[in-house]
Amino acid sequence: MTEFTLTEDFPKSEIEFDQRFLNESACFDYLFKMKWPTGFSCTQCGHQAYWVSSKNIFICTRCEHQHSLTAGTIMDSSKKPIMYWFKAMWWFTSRKSGVNTINLKDLLGFGSYNTVWYWLQKLRRCTIRKDREKLSGNVEVDEFFIGGQKPGKRGRGSNGKTAVAAAVEKKSQKIGRIRLKVIPDCSANTLLPFISANIEPGSDVSTDGWKGYEPLDENTYRHHKVFQNKADDKDSVLPGVHLVASLVKRVILGTHQGRFDPGYLQNYLDEYVFRFNRRTSNFIGKKFMRIVQQAISSTKITWRQIKVNTTLTPSQESSLGLSA
């Protein structure tokens, strides 16, 4: 993804959204402002004058290079009107706990489950902004596990469940931003790179006594170990991570009925982080604006990139916009 310039132009409510984006022209005008907030600039020659074709292609008047607002993005090759993408992005960002495939399919009036599932996976991949700021200050780090009810060992040695590393900023007694990542194991080789990638050097990092955190560089972080078996109040040990883990599991169980493929869990976690870190926004439309900005700066994602080792029928390829 490329960087974008932040603007503060967004609908403040669903009524305002419906009034504003009544047709394709209004949607493309909004995409134009997101892509060129200071005005059109040809990617080939830098010229600022253009004309627009009947297919919403912006053509430079000097070199005649053609610019599409959706080509090369997650909306590339879509056969659905752009208004459907806008409505999908609105519902994706405005629902407090997200929206699942069946609900969005009904809301959009689509006949194909695969198409809506495909769109949602694309949108989830747009929730993480490139070069986002790392967590800082006081940060709790721990792991938790997501999976079905299966017999056997619990915790770090559990089988049949997916491990997730979590980092949670603490702002006094409140929770700040969070980071979540699916991890293959709970070893130091996995946990230390997670900390390095997500937490600013010089921060206070609180963990439990797990050996995977022992090699944490004390010249980079101030490491605080909290041992649950020595605490009088067990709930006081890393309470931020435990609360976030509980909330994530509740969303997986509620919004997605507890059904998910571990191969796609990271996409669901990225969506949750996007939503959680913007939970204090005064307007639901601000999250919509952010996802549009990141969608217009995204790269093309094909069905085959998302759903590996899947063979589609010609009718499925046509419905997904994959056929020639």
- Give me the domains of the chain, ranges plus CATH numbers: 1-38+70-126+283-324 (no CATH), 138-260 (3.30.420)
Write down the pLDDT at residue 1.
45
Write down the pLDDT at residue 173.
85
Q: Which CA distances in Å does 69 have to 77, 260, 292?
A: 12, 32, 12
pTM of the model: 0.86
Write down the pLDDT at residue 2.
47
Residue with more model confidence, 153 or 175: 175
Residue with more model confidence, 144 or 262: 144
Write down the pLDDT at residue 261.
76
Q: Which of 156, 124, 164 is nearest to 246 (CA)?
A: 164
Summarize pLDDT for 207-245 with one digit per residue, the tens.
999 999 999 999 999 999 998 765 555 556 899 999 999
Residue with more model confidence, 194 or 307: 194
